[in-house]
Structure 1
Amino acid sequence: MKHQQALYLQEMGITRWQVRKPDLFPLSLNLCTIDLSHYKLLLVASTADFAHPLMPSILNAFNLKLSEVYCCSTDQFENLQGQLPELIWSTLGEINQPHGHKLLTSSTLVQLAADANAKKALWKQFCAFNQ
């Protein structure tokens, strides 16, 4: 079940079932059950973006440490279970925005490094959420 669908069920008061023997359902093995409670930023990006030399500078500007960021792909994001961090940043294009979360979108870090206007646009999005 996708994260957005799980939130709808939760808001309607519908209890989610827990599979006792997940080995019997091979498709359910792909679901991510990661505790995101100690992360401040969920980054939906490629591993190349996360490893880009510009990433530490951006996180420093956002006043975040690398250990406070969880990075995942778009598919992994869609299958995440549980509460998400308040701040979500996507470098892979538009994603389904969970209600009650702050969503930043930007181009890839390679493009950000080459385009000052793209960096400025990302910074404006971040500042708009922190006012």
Structure 2
Amino acid sequence: MKHQQAVFLQEMGITHWQVRKPALFKAEEVHKQLNLSYCELLVVCTKEDQQHPLMEAILNAFEIDKDKVTYCSLAQFENQQGTLPMLIWSTIGQIEVAPGHQLLHSPALVTLAEQRQAKQILWKQFCAYHQ
């Protein structure tokens, strides 16, 4: 179930089912719930974006400690059942989040590194939420 669907069900007072033993399924990684209790920024990205040198520079510019950042794939994000942090950044395009969350979006970091205007747009999005 996608996160947006879970939020709608929760708002209607309908509880959702959660797999108790996800290891029994082949898509175990998709069902694994993220621990977001300490998370200030959730980054929905690819492994390549997570390891790109620009990622650390952007986190430094945002003044967010890398220990307070959680990375996930789109599949993990869509299956996340818990509460999400206020700030979410997607490098894989537009994603659906419940109202009240601050959503940043940018192209993949390989593209972002080459496009000055894309970096400026990302920075303006971040600044708009932190004024």
SS at match of 1:43: strand
Within 5 A, what are the aligned runs for 1:1-131?
A: 1-19=1-19, 22=21, 26=25, 29=28, 30-131=30-131
Q: How many residues align?
A: 130
1:45 touches 1:74 (CA, 8 Å); kept in 2? yes
Percent sequence identity over matched residues?
53
Distance of 1:111 and 1:19 partners within structure 2: 37
The TM-score with structure 1 as length reference comes to 0.88
**Any gaps of 5 or more consecutive residues in structure 2?**
none
Q: Which runs of 4+ in 1 moved over 6 A?
A: none
- Report the aligned-residue RMSD: 2.0
Q: After the TM superposition, which of the residue ranges 6-15 and 28-37 deviates more from structure 2?
A: 28-37
Distance 1:43 1:23, change over 3 A: closer
Contact 2:22 2:31 in 1 (8 A): no
Query: TM-score, normalising length from structure 2?
Result: 0.88
User: Could you list the runs of 5+ residues in structure 1 that have no partner in the other structure?
Assistant: none
- The DSSP-based 3-state class of the residue aligned with 1:4 is helix
2 CA distance for matches of 1:52 and 1:24? 30
Distance in 2 of aligned mates of 1:99 and 1:25: 34
Q: Write the distance in 2 (CA, Å) between the matches of 1:112 and 1:5.
A: 31
Q: How far apart are 1:28 and its partner, in Å?
A: 7.8
